[in-house]
Amino acid sequence: MDRPYILVTNDDGITAPGIRKLTQIMNQIGDVVVVAPDSPQSGKSHSLTIEVPLRYESIELEGPQQDFACSGTPVDCVKIALDKILVKKPDIVVSGINHGSNSSINVLYSGTMSAAIEAGVEGLPAIGFSLQDFRYDADFDAAEDYIKEIVQKSLKHSMPKGVVLNVNIPKLKKEEIKGIKICRQADAKWVESFDERINPHGKKYYWLTGKFNSNDEGEDADEVALSRGYISIVPVNFDFTDYHYMKELDRIMN
């Protein structure tokens, strides 16, 4: 049987430890092509590069996979991979492992998840993986077996068109992870502010700061699962239509 053809990408940059670990795991499963940003692109969401040309180049990194560094965003990486780099349609697209959580509302801002969602737009199975640890030297080994299991099961059991998986991993040792829970996106948000400072020329500038606030205590919420030591998996659909409100809105407007 042919080995699965796997596209790997991320938003932290092609040399980030998270994507190197994910690539290592995917090499155990199939034939891997990595197309990822040549520099960090965190928080870029579904942005595209449209005002300057895109570039990509093949680079030599450890492992049997092919590696391509792209000058654009995570979504750019998926688009150019599908159109110019891959020799055939991938069996699955995996994004990550992100340095930091993409649970709850973070899915909207995440370049990691937007790369996976872009693959879903193209009708491809896709998964975004994130670890609740922002450190560059975060330990990704604890979740290796779970990541491998999730990808293998996703290859075996096809996902519905338009659905991608948002997988978040707690910052725990392997023996402390309790398992996997299928969840919904928690009702939570960032409470943000801008720290105002003055540069040496007397001009004001601002740094975005904030605190993540979740009051969602539902048993099926991803934030709750993570806090209890479980890996959360949220099936994400990029159709933003609120079907529950359609009839009521039609009554109001007509």
Q: 5-186+217-253 has which fold?
A: Stationary-phase Survival Protein Sure Homolog; Chain: A, (3.40.1210)
Give the pair of three-digit tokens for residue 137. Answer: 């030297």
Give pLDDT, residue 125. 97
For the chain, the domains span 5-186+217-253
Report whether 114 contacts 76 (CB < 8 A).
no
Most confident of 78-82, 160-164, 189-193, 207-211: 78-82
Give the pair of three-digit tokens for residue 57. Answer: 């180049």
Crossing angle between the packed helical segments 17-27 and 144-156, to the nearest 10 degrees = 50
Give the pair of three-digit tokens for residue 211. Answer: 């605190």
Give pLDDT, residue 1. 58
Q: What is the pTM of this model?
A: 0.93
Please give the backbone phi and psi of residue 117, each rounded to the nearest 5 degrees, phi first. -65, -40
Ranges assigned E (strand) in the chain = 5-9, 31-37, 56-59, 66-70, 92-99, 126-131, 163-169, 179-182, 188-198, 204-214, 230-237
Please say if the pLDDT value at position 104 is more than 70: yes
How far is C-alpha 229 from the chain's CA centre? 20
If we measure between CA atoms, which residue out of 50, 43, 87 comes closest to residue 68? 87
Beta-carbon count within 10 A of 58 CB: 9
Give the pair of three-digit tokens for residue 21. Answer: 């670990």
Please say if the pLDDT value at position 191 is more than 90: no
CB within 8 A of 73, min separation 6: which ones? 11, 37, 41, 44, 47, 48, 49, 111, 114
